Structure 1
Amino acid sequence: MRISDFVVRELGRRQVLLFFLLATGLYVLPLILADFPYIDDNWRALAAGNQWAGYGRLFTDWLYQGLTFTGAAPDIFPLPLLFATVAMSLALTCLTFHYFAEPTLACCLVPLPLWYNPFLLQNFSYQYDGPSMAFSLVAMVCAVTFDGSTRVQRWLIPAALIALGIGLYQISVNVFLGLCCVELLRALHRRVSWTEFWHLLGGKLAQLALGIAIYGVTAYPFMAAGRYADGLDWTAHPLLQIGTNMSRVLEKTALLFHGGYLWVFAALVLCALLGLARLGRPDRRASYVILGLTSLAVLVLLVPGITLLFRDFNEGARTLMGFGVLLVFLFYLARLALAPHHRWLPLLLIIPLLATLSLSFAYGRVLIMQKTFTTAALYSLGHDIAAHRELREAKRIYLSINYSDRWLTSAEGSFRQLPVLRYLLNVDYYMLAENLPSVGITNVVAERERRNATHVGYLRYPALVESLYYRIYLIGDYGFIVMKEPPHGRLLQW
């Protein structure tokens, strides 16, 4: 059989699954190879701690208790991520056959951006939280694709899956809503009646409401009081607050569209708009286009989604799970535009996927650079403390954190060419106190309020240790580690 025949012929379920296993595994491979404990991973690995229930994520606690056969969460990375990758491959297989009755290789590319979401790389950076976020994504995909034989099954099982997804990671509700927009787009493409269209929309919203209700009586009661109490102030221009938050999201997502990435995604949007013009019957095309553009606008809002409704807005890349669904929407429309002209043209969708895969490998290398820097910083600080008896025997050493985007000098070239990498990394500190027990230093604590050590630095006490990046002071039985500002203007020229 010629390769061209394999590319354009119909694929079976096993072949589709093998494709997704390869594609999803390849995307997370750089992060597995980097093996970098990311932010929260440090304290969780030390304490084998879960404590997700207080964040409204009770099912994440259950996930790790089940995977580790304990009542806590010992570090077993990368096993949970491997399980999540297989589960996502199965979910994407179901989604492909849900979208296309006779899928080809090009059809398999359409749902893949759910996993090849560039901002999802920060989610996967968390060795503990990443797999639970991935499983929440799987639950939302399964909630959309499930089609039971009875009415009770069609209502209850998707609602239970939605509750499961929210209980693993609340932000994944944006994915369900986004996939509902894709479902509406498919309904327009199938030229269903308006009655069936609105029935589909109402059914999905009812499933979501039932899922939230199930979550409200299962995981929500375990949430710590006041966890999400700070919503928008509805008496102080809430639309202005939402607009401000959305502008911050656009500013961050714009970091992705740099260099060749801008042209690749511009071509994708152009093809999607051409596909939008092909929707529906000619006599209703204007109304179909309006509905399609409305769905596109909703999907743009769903990139940050429910995070827009909180006063303490989190602009981290891990909250932008909805960006993957936006890409699926664009891919679906782009395929509609390309397929009628030549059977090979839809394969052009592989170009933006390769761009995202390239970004994943670049990010993996940055994680390795960060790991190297963190290891060197850990040994330096651990050696300085161990070499001074007064510091070894101090009752407590306070570590003050100085935030800066200039710590990781070795990645400056990558940051300059791909600005989104710095946003994805989001490590702007020299050292965490949780790292030091790995070299036997147990009397250093993180000074979250940053008052004592910083105040000591301002008072200009003589430093016991003077290093390139920090000073260590000793006052009585207490030590204080004060970070210096990283040097300016360190341009690497080779």
Structure 2
Amino acid sequence: MGRFSDFFSKELGRRQVWLFFLLATFVYVVPLILADYPYIDDNWRSLSAGMAWAEQGRLFTELLYNLLTFSDAAPNIFPLPLLIATLAMAAALTSLTFHYYPQPTIACCLVTLPLWYNPFFLQNLSYQYDGPAMALSVVAVIYATTFRPPSRIQQWLVPSFLVALAIGLYQVSFNVFLGLCCLEVLRAANDKLAWPQWCGLIGWKIAQAFLGCLIYAVSAYPFTQHKRTLLLNWSAEPLLQLHVNIARVLEKVVLLFHGGFTWVFAGLLLCAMAGAVRLGLNVVARQDRPANKMLIGLICVLALPAVTLLVSGMALFFRDFNEGARTLMGFAVLLVLLFYLSHLALARIHQRLPLLLVIPLLAMLSLSYAYGRVLTVQKAFAASALLSLQHDIASSRQLLEAKRIYMSVTYSDYWLRGAAGSFKQMPVLHYLLNIDFFMLAENLPKVGITNVVAEKERRNATRVGYQHFAPLVESQYYRIYLIGDYGFIVMKEPAPIKRLRW
């Protein structure tokens, strides 16, 4: 019993830390691998082995799949890319743990694990194509943070190239890098780094970020479609637009804090506040000029809201604002900050108390498995919907031989009735799933139907079908109309889910 108890407080070697992270990271993605659900963009990419990342400013994602598939396209090889990304993340978290704690224990490993156990990152990992690239972008910014070569030139260039690589894999990962830079500033203040070195650290991080963006600007950015880079309209109350975007992000983040999660994160926040007080006392206790200490304290105070703002970060300033969970990668750094400050407070009381950080991690692991079950339910529903459409079209020669069948896209929160209970208990699951449509036109070729396309320019087809023609097919979820040589699939708005009483 004594040896088992000592394991949680003894110093770990690099191999032991790596094995811990390998197990922890793999366990987190097991539900996604078992679900094996092609998520939104995966459908058309797997259908045509499509790329189209370079025009989104993600040139290095294209190169990644060229390398992994030994081709100039992107055939589906899931889950191999996710397994590779998981291995890479285990190594990166090992490096970051030793960067923060030269003599780490299990409790120290828990501090950095939220970079992977980010609840909102589950949506990123849901993409069988994009998910591994997004994960590798986080790996790149972690190594940009921990890289410490003896050569000064390498100190400037290697992290900058890693930052450029991360942005070229997924631009939002730049928020993670900036958040980790803020955390570096706080750590240096807590460790009482001398004033010249502390100032040099800030300048070094600013230079890395600037040079990384510059390298990205001359390598991957020229391939980007300009409509994706439009910023807020500065002539139409940009501060109001920014305020609206922040409010939308906050509204989504609050979905996480429901039921037991509220109490778990409330406890974590209290511990982090105690750790922040301890960090402040360490700044006050520095042997330095009062002006220097005041400046250090001010920057540390400003770093806290900066990390919070970086939850969505750069996405807030784009005109085409995306409030999807996949853009909230900065939430991982906010969690690491809370864990780091909590570790400071708990370790001061007793060396084993930081092990309490395992509780919020278990909560996030539980959410991962709940989300995996929701994906499984969605997969079953999507398969049933696909077979229903295939049967109705294939059984009608008129529809099968139609020149084109337009599918209207009707959004609703009530398509997936099988997960209603989970959505009620964990509202964040519906936000993570982000699927509020019945079927994608790209799915029909999987069952041999090739004349169905998504309705885009022909928005009036729905009204024409309802007002003037009788449906050729009447189903629980849709009607199919035939007008000349063209068909129209019109979705019915599903009724709200009623509470069942047994």
TM > 0.5 fold call: yes
Q: Kindly tell me: are residues 450 and 33 of structure 1, through their superposed partners in 2, closer, same or farther at Cα, counting changes over 3 Å?
A: farther
Residue 426, structure 1, aligned to residue 434, structure 2: yes
Q: What is aligned with 1:118? A: 119
- TM-superposed deviation, 1:19: 0.4
- TM-superposed deviation, 1:452: 4.2
Alpha-carbon distance between aligned partners in 1 of 2:495 and 2:239, rounded to the nearest angstrom: 41
**Cα root mean square deviation, aligned:** 1.3
Residue 14, structure 1, aligned to residue 15, structure 2: yes
Alpha-carbon distance between aligned partners in 1 of 2:356 and 2:381, rounded to the nearest angstrom: 39
Alpha-carbon distance between aligned partners in 2 of 1:55 and 1:34, rounded to the nearest angstrom: 28
Residue 245, structure 1, aligned to residue 253, structure 2: no
Q: Report runs of 4+ in structure 1 exceeding 4 Å deviation.
A: 283-290
Q: What is aligned with 2:319? A: 311
SS of aligned partner of 1:479: strand
Q: What is aligned with 1:266? A: 266
Q: Please list the CA deviations of residues 36-88 of structure 1 after superposition, one character each: whole Å capped at 9, or x if unmatched.
A: 10000000000001110000100000000100001000000000000000000
- TM-superposed deviation, 1:31: 0.6
Q: Please list the CA deviations of residues 84-126 of structure 1 after superposition, one character each: whole Å capped at 9, or x if unmatched.
A: 0000000000000000010000000001000000000000011
Q: Is the 8 A contact 2:57 2:220 kept in 1?
A: yes
Q: What is aligned with 1:344? A: 352
Q: 1:327 aligns with which of 332, 335, 355?
A: 335
Q: Kindly tell me: are residues 198 and 237 of structure 1, through their superposed partners in 2, closer, same or farther at Cα, counting changes over 3 Å?
A: farther
Alpha-carbon distance between aligned partners in 1 of 2:351 and 2:393, rounded to the nearest angstrom: 66
Q: What is aligned with 1:451? A: 459
Q: Kindly tell me: are residues 187 and 467 of structure 1, through their superposed partners in 2, closer, same or farther at Cα, counting changes over 3 Å?
A: same
Matched AA of 2:300: G
- TM-superposed deviation, 1:200: 0.7
Residue 485, structure 1, aligned to residue 493, structure 2: yes
SS of aligned partner of 2:487: strand
Q: Please list the CA deviations of residues 112-145 of structure 1 after superposition, one character each: whole Å capped at 9, or x if unmatched.
A: 0000000000000110000000010100001000
Choose 78-87 or 186-195, whichever is displaced more: 186-195
- Which residues of 2 match residues 351-370 of structure 1 at below 5 A? 351-370=359-378
Q: What is aligned with 2:289? A: none
Alpha-carbon distance between aligned partners in 2 of 1:318 and 1:143, rounded to the nearest angstrom: 22
SS of aligned partner of 2:175: helix
- Any gaps of 5 or more consecutive residues in structure 2? 287-292
Q: What is aligned with 1:396? A: 404
Residue 375, structure 1, aligned to residue 383, structure 2: yes
- TM-superposed deviation, 1:442: 0.6
Matched AA of 1:160: F
Q: What is aligned with 2:469? A: 461
Matched AA of 2:97: T
Q: Please list the CA deviations of residues 277-329 of structure 1 after superposition, one character each: whole Å capped at 9, or x if unmatched.
A: 11224446876654433211001100000001112211000000000000001
Residue 172, structure 1, aligned to residue 180, structure 2: no
SS of aligned partner of 1:33: helix
Alpha-carbon distance between aligned partners in 1 of 2:457 and 2:428, rounded to the nearest angstrom: 29
SS of aligned partner of 1:457: helix
Q: Is the 8 A contact 2:408 2:491 kept in 1?
A: yes
Residue 470, structure 1, aligned to residue 471, structure 2: no
Matched AA of 1:420: V
Matched AA of 1:468: Q
Q: What is aligned with 2:212? A: 211
SS of aligned partner of 2:173: helix
Q: Kindly tell me: are residues 356 and 156 of structure 1, through their superposed partners in 2, closer, same or farther at Cα, counting changes over 3 Å?
A: same
The aligned length equals 493
Q: Is the 8 A contact 2:96 2:142 kept in 1?
A: yes
Matched AA of 2:479: R
Residue 415, structure 1, aligned to residue 423, structure 2: yes
Q: Please list the CA deviations of residues 187-220 of structure 1 after superposition, one character each: whole Å capped at 9, or x if unmatched.
A: 0111123332221111101011111111111111
Alpha-carbon distance between aligned partners in 1 of 2:334 and 2:457, rounded to the nearest angstrom: 39
Q: Is the 8 A contact 1:25 1:85 kept in 2?
A: yes
Q: Percent identity, please.
A: 64
Alpha-carbon distance between aligned partners in 1 of 2:362 and 2:384, rounded to the nearest angstrom: 33
Q: What is aligned with 2:290? A: none
Alpha-carbon distance between aligned partners in 1 of 2:191 and 2:349, rounded to the nearest angstrom: 19
Q: What is aligned with 1:276? A: 276
SS of aligned partner of 1:402: coil
TM-score normalized by the length of structure 2: 0.96
Q: What is aligned with 1:83? A: 84
